[in-house]
Structure 1
Amino acid sequence: MIVEEIREELFRKQDLNYRDFICRLIPNTNPETIIGVRTPVLRKYAKQLVKREDVRDFLKALPHRYQDENLLHGLVLAEIKEFDLCLKEVNQFLPYINNWAVCDMLSPKVFQRYHQELLVYIRKWLKSEEEYTVRFAIGMLMEHFLGDDFTLEYVELVTKVHLDSYYVKMMVAWYFATGLAKQYEKILPYMEGKYLDTWTHNKTIQKALESYRITFEQKTYLRTLKVKK
């Protein structure tokens, strides 16, 4: 079966030093579930697997046992060219995402061509009680809707997210910091108006100060907006 074949191949591609590194990055994940396959290797493997008809058997085999299988799953989904099929597979996979690394790896290429259709589902995902479903939705807004398709309506969607989760709040901060880099004048009023909770507000400023895309003058002003605890 393809599931066993994939697992055996992942262990053949294992890098023990990389596994130890990943274990430190994702402390809330059982180290025994991490094989340790580097991302470029997984990407190459995913492009091979997506061409196989039996890859559907792997995608249906949820939940996966290993972190690397989840990462590979997300990378296979990224290669699916049919929007409806990709969206169906994403919806089936989202409930099984159990850490930020798998969540942030999931970025289907086909979504770039179907922004309006994607928005319908982003709105649904934002209402979820599952932290990584919400984090994924915010990530999709950050990736696809801070450029030419940007409107303040999307910013409002993020400000209304109140799921009390560290990984959701981190993504909100990442969204606003990226927004400051791409849409500074339009995002700035949200920082000046203290629309976010104190922790997320200050984390946004911290991440913005680390950005090379924000000018020295802008950073100087952002420092004045930090809220003292």
Structure 2
Amino acid sequence: MNIRAELLKLAEPDYQVFASRLLPGTPHILGVRLPYLRKMAQKIVKEEATSFLSEREMVYFEEVMLRGMVIGYLKNLPLERHLYYIKEFVPLIDNWSVCDSFCSGLKVVGRHPEYFWSEVTAYLKSTNEFEVRFGVVMLLNYYVNNRYVEQVLGLLEETMHSGYYVRMAIAWAISVCYVNYPQLTLRYLQKTTLDTFTYNKALQKIRESLKTDSDTRALMKQMKRNEKTATPS
């Protein structure tokens, strides 16, 4: 399969405009819809995964997205090989869409959380905004459970990167913790030293959750901090 030719054929100018608005500053977006990319990724996994993943030339946003999807669809690999592909891919992430799509596709981590724990959490100490976001989004996808939730909240508290996409991911992660462990997360929110921007975004995301009742929405509104104390982004 000529991957780039196939992507160019599937590109839609109107969708390219829409996608570019969602991803300001992200260059070389063709405008290929995600369902088409998923179908291509599944076909690549069946026919030419190894040769595809050995390719180093990626110009378009969709080529990077496709690579992440292929890694997620891989099966029956030794865990160390899967980890190799993950670590090779993470430095390519330069926007929230690739990051979040890649994380959601890594079901292997959900099946083997202990094996990947130290690797995932190491990214929280990176100076790169999207590497840190990768770590946070991986936590909210695969580690908000009985075994790890307290450690997750502790790590979110310690993650110091000030990048906008990191702080939004932390707020999202806290809201996921709250939906699943409301009392534990409420105690965390009552004593957290998070900056005001991230803290208030977490409360907002909790309020906006479809699983949040009216009493919780009222409580989150009461807990909101004065925006004037927020740390500039």
Q: TM-score, normalised by structure 2?
A: 0.91
Q: State which of 213, 216, 229 in structure 2 corresponds to 1:215.
A: 213
- Work out which of the residue numbers 111, 121, 131 in structure 1 matches 2:129: 131
Out of 95, 98, 115, the position equivalent to 1:99 is 95
Where does residue 17 of structure 1 map in the other structure? 14
**Partner of 1:50: helix, strand, or coil?**
helix
Structure-2 residue corresponding to 1:70: 64
Q: 1:63 to 1:223 in 2, by over 3 A?
A: farther
**Alpha-carbon spacing, 1:152–1:40, altered in 2? closer, same or farther (3 Å):** same
Contact 1:35 1:67 in 2 (8 A): yes
Q: What is the correspondence of 1:190-201 to structure 2 with a 5 Å cutoff?
A: 190-201=188-199
| 3-state DSSP of counterpart to 2:211 | coil
Shift in CA distance, 142/128, structure 1 to aligned 2, threshold 3 Å: same
| Contact 2:157 2:192 (8 Å CA) reproduced | no
What value does the CA root-mean-square deviation take over the aligned residues? 1.4
Q: Distance in 2 between matches of 1:52 and 1:85?
A: 19
The amino acid that maps onto 2:97 is A
> What SS does the aligned partner of 2:47 have?
coil
Q: 1:191 to 1:16 in 2, by over 3 A?
A: same
* TM-score between both structures, scaled by the size of structure 1: 0.92
Q: Which amino acid aligns with 1:41?
A: Y
- Structure 1: how far apart are the matches of 2:110 and 2:149? 17
**CA 1:189 to 1:195, structure 2 compared with 1: closer, same or farther past 3 Å?**
farther
Pick one of 46, 67, 84 that aligns with 1:51. Answer: 46
Report the 3-state secondary structure (helix = DSSP H, G, I; strand = E; otherwise coil) of the residue aligned with 2:126: coil
Residues 189 and 148 (structure 1), Cα distance of their counterparts in 2 relative to 1, 3 Å cut: closer
Identity %: 32
Give the 3 Å change call, closer, same or farther, for CA 34–220 of structure 1 in structure 2.
Answer: same
Report the Cα distance in structure 1 between the residues aligned to 2:213 and 2:175, rounded to whole angstroms: 13
TM-aligned CA deviation for residue 148 of structure 1: 4.0
Cα distance per residue 1:66-112 (max 9 Å; x no partner): 00011111110111122322211110111111111111110312112
1:170-227 per-position Cα deviation (integer Å, ceiling 9, x unaligned): 1001101111111111111121113311100011111111111111111111111100
For the residue of structure 2 that corresponds to 1:51, the secondary structure is helix
1:58 positional shift? 2.9
Q: What secondary structure sits across from 2:32 in the alignment?
A: coil
Q: CA shift at 1:147, angstroms?
A: 2.7
Q: Gaps spanning 5+ residues in structure 2: where?
A: 229-233
Which amino acid is 1:67 matched to?
F
Residues of 2 paired with 1:189 and 1:61: CA distance? 48
Structure 1: gaps of 5 or more residues: none
1:172 corresponding residue in structure 2: 170
Query: 86, 111, 114: which one pairs with 1:113?
Result: 111
Q: Which residue does the alignment assign to 1:203?
A: 201
Shift of 1:126: 1.4
2:222 is aligned to 224
2:31 to 15, 19, 36: 36
1:86 and 2:86 are equivalent in the alignment: no
Distance 2:137 2:211 in 1: 19
Separation in structure 2 between the aligned mates of residue 131 and residue 63 of structure 1, nearest angstrom: 23
